[in-house]
Every structure is written in C-alpha cells, then in structure tokens.
Amino acid sequence: MTLYITCMGDDEMKKAKKYIPTASYTHYGETKPVEIKPVETENIYEKEACSCCGYLTIPVDTDGNKFDGFICPVCFWEIDTFINSENEESDSNGGLTLVQARLNYRTFGACDKRMLQYVRKPTDDEK
C-alpha cells in the first residue's frame, strides 16, 4: 500500500484558493481518497483562544508559542504566525484575511464555506 500526499506550491495554492492538502492511497491498484482532518491535541498543552472564532482551541507550548499550521477544529482557520494584522491576506488560509474569516464564521459557522464540512461545534471546555 502506498500513501501519496500532495501539497500545492504557494502560487498554485493562491490561484486555486485551496489550502487543504489532498491525499490518496493505492491498494491493489485501486486509488482511494484519504480524509484529511485537523489534528486534535487534547490535554497536552494549554489552549488559547482562536484568533478567528474565539474558542479555546489553539494549543500553545510551555513557552507560549502557538503551533504554526494548526487548524482550528471549530472554524478551520489555520494558525498563520506570519501575518502581522487582521487585514493581511493569509497564505495559509487561501488568501483570506482574519477580518473576513471572522465574518464568515459568524455568518455560516466556518472561516470559509468550503470548510463547513470539516468543522465541529466547540466543546464545553473550549467556551
């Protein structure tokens, strides 16, 4: 069995406005997609409020550093430590700004409409 993970380059990604990597595997000549989900790191680190939805979903290490590339399971905003303001386009989030992502979350429940299928409701200890 072979697992393939495809990640697009930055330019390609911006053009396609896609930021979820696609993965598939081939088993006995049959290629099947692999479901990509955000990583949940329960009970390991302190949690900080997500800069998009505001729920306590973002793990921080003992030095207070956020995990670059962590995807919030509640709104699907990807932590981007390279943006300096909420109006700056986030490459990790397909060119979305934090302002737009927050508005999207309040409007329909995910940072981007295509991410609605992946999000979940916040748990009690994330509120």
* Span from 7-15, 22-30, 40-48, 68-76 in contact with Zn ion (CB under 5 A): 68-76
Q: Does 50 bind Zn ion (CB under 5 A)?
A: yes
104-111, long-range: CB within 8 Å, 24+ apart, which pairs?
A: 105/52, 105/53, 105/75, 105/77, 109/75, 110/75, 110/76, 111/52, 111/53, 111/72, 111/75, 111/76, 111/77
For position 101 contacting Zn ion by CB under 5 A, the verdict is: no
Select from 14-22, 34-42, 45-53, 116-124 the region that touches Zn ion (CB under 5 A): 45-53
Under the rule (CB under 5 A), what is the footprint of Zn ion? 50, 52-53, 72, 74-75, 77
